[in-house]
Structure 1
Amino acid sequence: MDTKPLTAETICRSVWAVPSLARNSEGALDVAENAKLIKHIEQGGISTLLYGGNAIFYHLTLAEYRSALELISTTAADDTLVIPAIGPAFGTMLDQVDILLDFNFPNVMLLPQRDVVSSPGIASAVRKVAEKLGKPVVLYLKYDGTVSVEDAAALASDGVISAIKYAVVRKDYTQDDYLRSLTDQIDKSLILSGLGDQPAIVHMRDFGLGGFTTGCGCIFPQMSTDLLAAIHAEKWDEAEAIRERFLPLEQLRDSLGPISILHRATELAGIAQTGPIIPLLSEPAESVREEIAAALHQMK
């Protein structure tokens, strides 16, 4: 894997794929099936992998966490940037950093938590984690105002964070005062659109963000790569046409659960056997599996 520090150039060079984590029928991590998925994503032109929510890093045991780090760090190509997540609890973060110190990941991302937190408290945790890790981290902003603009800007100014994954859901992505305030105070090239391919055009064109993450692009990586290229070239009609091709699966994820739908869609697309979904999440009903299969057929 690529171990060079994260910069604005490495942020924008590739879509950030956020893949599922494949397991065998007994629920253990499956090296071979994860390798299939990683290779599929890389062959579609994506060279950044972010293991967070879709991989259900929220619920890994510490033993599994080490195994997952070993798997993703040794399976990715030499020029693929791999970023694992930590958290969301502060104690879990510290225990996971102890494990991360045995690896050479250039960055980690803090998973977001909305309850039992405050903005100054999150900022303090970010600083303590970065200090213990010895490198800046990726801040994930998922909930409106959970981290204040002032606290986020101070973290960026002090070099404690290397990027922000911005994933606050809006009915109208052109109207976002929180994001506008963030981009007024923080280098826009260090902020990624974190909600998949759907708001990527608006976030990059109207707010100047440096890139975007993708879940559905783990199944259709070339489509996400083409979308990024069209945005960089300012070919907005072409970009919109590509974005619309993602709608069948994205709409299912929005309505029925982004993580579980992607997990099962990856398998139904024939890319890798992803295995059972671990608690605290649950398996989509058979009728939903049929909807997923139909959406995948539409997108081909």
Structure 2
Amino acid sequence: MRTTPLAPSDYSLSVVAVPPLPLRPDLSIDADANGMLLRHIEQGGVRIVLFGGNANMYHIDLGRMRTLLALLAEQTGPEMSVLPSIGPDLGRMLDHAPLLRDAGFGQAMALPAGFPSDPAGIERGLRLAVQATGFPLVLYVKREGYLAPGQIERLVRDGVVSFVKYAIERADPVGDRTLADILAAIGPERVASGMAETPLHAHIGQDGLATWTSGGVCIAPQAAMALLAAYRVGDAAAIERLRAPFLEFEAVRVKFGGIPVLHEAVTLSGIADMGPILPMLSNLRAAHRPEVQAVTDGLMAIERVVTAQAGLGSA
């Protein structure tokens, strides 16, 4: 695991993988499956991994958190930056802080607080969390009015927030006024698109965000990195070809649930068996597996194509 914190410029070099958390039938963490998935992601060229919503970190207890942090430190190479998530409530952020320090972590994401919370309280809570961790946090903006752009600017200036994951869903992501105000406050180099590949034509192609977070990258990491490269040079044909299977995958995630679909898809891909999902979520229904298998196969197919091209020395 890389121990130096990510700078804003580091985010522009990699898509951010957001993997599921593999569990055994007794709901203990499956260390072997976790290692296999992390190796697959890392071998595909991805250099940032974030354990957040897809890993159901909202419901993780302190014992599993301690186990997971130890595994993440052991199972990733020296170039891989790992961001666990803490919270979403203040109590858990404060409880997680000493675990992060003991495991050698110097960065993490704060999960978005739910009810009851308000912008002023969220800002104060983040400041208290950073006093406990000793390092700034990645801010996850998932709903309108969570924090005002001026608050986010102040938190960045004060060393409380290092980076922002922006994930307010829009029917059309073009011309998002809230995002525009955040970018004006802290700059696009400090913001990642947080809704996988669906809004990339706006968020990366037009707004110039640093990178994006993705579940599909866990299955097709080389293809995702090739897509990032295509956006960097403005290769429209490559963008459309590479993005298509990710969009199909995301459409099925929207249909059946983003977390259970990704959890099942990694298993169906043969990369590693993810097992059960930690409650309070449940696994994908068996009737939905054929549709998930089809879009998973699409990701695996584009990954094989990109891998073959890389083996031939193609761009």
Report what 1:264 is aligned to: 264
Give the match for residue 304 of structure 2.
Answer: none
2:150 partner amino acid: E
Deviations 1:4-28 (A, max 9, x none): 1221221111111000111122221
Which residue is 2:186 aligned to?
Answer: 186
Matching residue of 1:142: 142
1:71 counterpart residue number: 71
The answer to whether residue 192 in structure 2 is matched with residue 173 in structure 1 is no
- Residues 50-74 of structure 1 deviation map (CA, whole Å, 9 limit, x = unaligned): 0011011111111111001011111
Partner in structure 1 of residue 3 of structure 2: 3
- Provide Cα deviations, 1:181-237, integer angstroms capped at 9, x if missing partner: 101111210100111122123202211211111111101111111111111112233
* SS of the residue 1:36 aligns to: helix
Answer yes or no: is the 8 Å Cα contact 1:22–1:274 preserved in 2.
Answer: yes
- Aligned CA-pair RMSD: 1.1
Task: Kindly state the Cα deviation for residue 167 of structure 1 after the two structures are TM-superposed.
Answer: 0.7
Cα distance in 2 for residues equivalent to 1:155 and 1:72: 28
In 2: Cα distance, 1:122 partner to 1:294 partner: 41
1:240-259 Cα deviation digits (max 9, x unpaired):
22111212211011121111
Contact 1:6 1:106 (C-alpha < 8 Å) held by counterparts: no
Alignment of 1:89-238 (within 5 A): 89-238=89-238
Q: Residue in 2 aligned with 1:62?
A: 62
Aligned partners of 2:100 and 2:106 also within 8 Å: no
Q: Is the 8 Å Cα contact of residues 197 and 212 (structure 1) preserved in structure 2? A: yes
Looking at structure 2, the residues matched to 174 and 40 of structure 1 have their Cα atoms a distance apart, in angstroms, of 33
Letter in 1 for 2:154: A
Whole-Å Cα distance in 2 between the matches of residues 221 and 233 of structure 1?
19
TM-score (structure 1 length as normaliser): 0.97
Aligned partners of 1:248 and 1:296 also within 8 Å: no
1:143: how far off? 0.7
Q: Counterparts of 1:106 and 1:188 in 2: how far apart (Å)?
A: 23
Secondary structure (helix, strand or coil) at the match of 1:164 reads: strand
The 1-side partners of 2:272 and 2:115 are apart by 35
Q: Indicate the larger mover: 141-150 or 239-248.
A: 239-248
What SS class does the counterpart of residue 205 from structure 1 fall into? coil
- The alpha carbon displacement at 1:86 in A equals 0.2
Q: Which residue of 1 aligns with 2:293?
A: 293
- 1:24 maps to 24
Contact 2:174 2:202 (8 Å CA) reproduced? yes
Moved over 2 A (4+): none
Is there any run of 5+ residues in structure 1 with no aligned partner, and where? none
Is the CA contact (8 Å cut-off) linking 2:197 and 2:247 kept in structure 1?
Answer: no
Map Cα deviations across residues 80-135 of structure 1 (whole Å, 9 max, x no partner): 00000001111011001121120222211000123211111111111111122111
- Between the aligned partners of 1:95 and 1:298, the Cα distance in structure 2 is 41
Moved more, 237-246 or 227-236: 237-246
How many residue pairs get aligned? The number is 300
**How much identity, in percent, do the aligned residues show?**
36
* Residue in 2 that maps onto 1:276: 276
